[in-house]
Every structure is written in structure tokens, then in C-alpha cells.
Amino acid sequence: MQLAFDLKPEAALEFWRGKVQLSPSQFRALSREPKIRAFAVSGIAKGDELATVYQALTKSLEAGTPFAEFQRDCAEIFENRGWTGRKAWRIDNIFRTNIQTAYNVGRYQELQRIKAKRPFWRYSAVNDRRTRPAHRAMHGKIFPADHPFWDTWFPPNGFRCRCSVDSVGPDEIEANGWQVETKDPTGKLYEPTDPVTGVRLPARLAMPDPGWDFHVGKAGWEGLTPGPGDAGPIVPLLPRSLGAAAGKPALATIDPRHIKPYVADDLMPKGLAPEAYVGAFLREFGIETLGGETLISIPGADRLLPVNKGLFIDKATREWKVITTDGREQYLRLLARTIRAPFEVWLVPAEVSGRKYAVINLLRLFAGERGKVGGFVVWSLVGDRWMSSTAFAPKLAQGEKKLLQYLEQQRQGRLLFRETL
């Protein structure tokens, strides 16, 4: 099997060892990019058999063992499912897709480290009879490393894809007479050539295989968790009155048992290190270390949310993004409780920085002194990013009435879930 590069794959192994083993149903509930950080095999439930396949792939990455040995290591599992004869392609797909993805994610890290000296990347396809026409059409194309082209075409670009990326320096470009391209061919028509006959085939759009038109390298290092975003404000695309049409009871009339008590120790002091706030947040989910993670469901939303420290790491700078100008880090324990057990979950179409998203809002109310509403938290999932959270504890002068009026404005869209007692 041809691998993406011949160096010892330390970065590939780091990525691979961080994968989370999931059942097929859990895997399907993830959106596209987070799936890169998960490991599942269709037809194999989460458990000993899945762990065996995962360990056999780990062995191949660590020791370079070939496909035949992987096949032997998992032979009983595959035979029990009838993946023999014509169905044996499934085994090759599991092996090649996982190995090539790990190597290319690791390759991305290496390319980033040498980008200053070798600032251009060259797409490399195998160019044999098995190479897909669209992948062949990209062979040899050179773009700057930060060009949007790579957000669509960083390989693999399909199941069992063998393509890779090479770094290129200015001297190499000059010596070979290569050209650095600037116009993205994605979505444009091209005429492929049959690799055997040389006959031109009908024109088609230049696109990766369905479901693979995203930057696998970036997704591989962003983690499963939707990280904090820097986009503009969330602007609901619904009138304020629509929420009432969903039959929502006024918050002033709800059963007091929906309002969860908290004490002063639940709020964290200002001035702590980011790790202290993140650690307190994770412990609410039973995660005892900063490196731990878990997977929870969002009630009514048919979504799984992997919870780990990635929620608070800027995906571009890899720095902590915890401390806020308005001190919301003090409410991280309450934020965790809102995500873990919301009072309501709403789905609302919204616009963020000119783009439309389906926003999921999770709400929970908290009781302060004398049992009155003393604050609330709203946690918003915008597409696959946590873009907004509001934690509000009013001053006594503001009063419960004003707080409830403000919170009523957040309850709009389609109600997905309401806590039952």
C-alpha cells in the first residue's frame, strides 16, 4: 500500500490516538467535520470488536504492518459479517480510508511547520487506472498553502483515496518551470481523459467525492467539540411573536421546580487561570482531567455533543478562549449544567455575519436568594460551532420581572424540548 509520506508518522499517531470510538448510530449523529475525530465501523457495535479493529489499525500505523496482516488480525470479525468475496472491498475501505486519513492529517501538521520556507503546496494523485477523474484533474496543481482551494481539496477526497500533498519552495518552482495557480477550479467544468484509451470523456464538475469536500487536515486537529467562534451577533430570522405560537407558558407562571437553585460557591471568582475555569466546567460532566472527554445528547435535537477542553480553545491560534470582558467565565459551572440538563431547547433560523444557520439554543433558569429567579444561561450552537452564550445574574435593583422579560425574548423558533417533572 502506498502511504502519503515516508517519514515516521508521529503527528499521524497523535491524531489517531485521540480518536473517540463510537457506535455507528453515535457516529451518524455527528456532523461531517467532527466525524474525522471519531472512529466507527458500520455494522460493528461499540465494544470489544470495534476495539480490536481500532487496535489493528493502530498497529499498522505504529509498525507499518501491511493490509494482509490487518485482515488476519480481524479475520473472525469480518468473516462473521460476511465481508468476504465480493464484499471484501469493505475491509480494504476500512483500512485504506483510516490509514490515509491519519497520514494526511499528520502531513498537514508537518506542512504547517515548514510553511514559512516552503509556502506552496502541490496536489499529488497516483495517476493509475484506479485514480478518479476529478482527482487526476487536480494532479500537479500548485496553490499557496493558505489558498481556499485546500479547504475543499486537502486529501483524502473520498473513500479509499490515495492522493496526498507535497510542499514546494520557490526555488523548486523555478527549477521545474511550474506555475502557482490562483483561480480555484472547484465547481468548474473539465473534460477528463480515459486513462486507458486516452479518449476524452464528457465534461463534468471538478469536485471531490460526495461528503469529502472539506479540509481534512484542519478538521483533524480541531477536535470533536464545536469550539468558540468569533462571528458577529446572532440575528434571529423570526418575529418575536413566533415563540408564543409554540404554546410556551410564560416563565412567570412555570412550576418553580424548573428553576434550579445555586449557591455562592457555584459561581467562580475572577482572576483564575483558564485551566481552572475549564477544569471546573469539565468536572460537571464527570471529566476529571483536562485531557478527558465525554459524549452527550442534546434533548430533542437529534445531535450528539462531544464535551472536552476544545470548547474553550481558539481553533486558529490554539490558545485558551475562556476569559471574557464581562466576566462570564464565573458562570462556567452553570453553563455546564445548562448543557447537561436544559429547561428548554429551541431551534431558530438565524443569520451570523451574513450567513444563515440553524441555531440551537439551550436555556436554563437558576434561583438565587429567597428562591426567586436569580439568573439564567443561554448556550447557542450555530452550525457546528459554539458561537454565543449568555449568563445573566441581575442586580437586585433590576429585579426578577426585568430578567424574565429579557429571557422571554430568547424563547423563539421551534421548541424541540421542554423539561418534564
At 303-312, the pLDDT tens digits run 778 888 888 8
What the block records as the C-alpha cell of 364 is 436554563
Residues 206, 319: Cα–Cα separation, whole Å: 36
Average pLDDT score over residue span 262-267? 84
Backbone angles phi, psi at 209, to 5 degrees: -60, 150
At residue 397 the predicted structure's pLDDT band, cuts being 50, 70 and 90, is very low
| Residue 121 pLDDT > 90 | yes
Residue 383 has pLDDT above 60, yes or no: yes
pLDDT tens digits along 38-93: 899 999 988 999 999 999 999 999 998 999 999 999 999 999 999 988 899 999 99
Considering only residues 361 and 179, tell me which one the structure prediction assigns the higher pLDDT: 179
Crossing angle of helices 48-63/10-17, nearest 10°?
170
Helix axes 48-63, 89-113, angle to 10 degrees: 50
Cα–Cα dist 385/305, whole Å: 11
pTM: 0.67
**pLDDT by residue (tens digit) across 122-145?**
999 998 888 999 999 999 999 999
Strand (E) or helix (H) holding 170: helix 170-176
- The yes-or-no verdict on residue 5 having pLDDT over 50 is no
Average pLDDT over residues 377-405: 69
pLDDT computed for residue 310 by the predictor? 84
pLDDT above 70 as % of the chain: 90
The per-residue pLDDT of the chain, averaged, comes to 85
Q: How far is C-alpha 82 from the geometric centre of its chain's CA atoms?
A: 32
Assigned C-alpha cell, 414: 421551534
Average pLDDT over residues 321-332: 85
Region of 379 on the Ramachandran plot (φ > 0 left; ψ -120 to 50 alpha; else beta): beta
Angstrom distance (rounded) from CA 266 to CA 280: 10
| Cβ(46)–Cβ(21) below 8 Å | yes
DSSP states along 196-247: TT-PBPPPEE--PSTT--S-HHHHHHH-SSPPB------EESS-TTHHHHTT
3-state secondary structure of 419: coil
pLDDT band at 96 (very low <50, low <70, confident <90, very high): very high
For residue range 338-378, list pLDDT tens digits in order: 999 999 999 888 888 788 888 888 888 888 655 555 567 78
Band of pLDDT at residue 189, cut at 50, 70 and 90: very high
CA 287, distance to chain mean position in Å, is: 20
Here the cell at position 338 is: 445548562
Q: How many CA atoms lie within 13 A of 327 on its CB side?
A: 8
| Angle 115-119-121 from CA coordinates, rounded to 5° | 100
Rg (C-alpha) for the chain, rounded Å, is 25
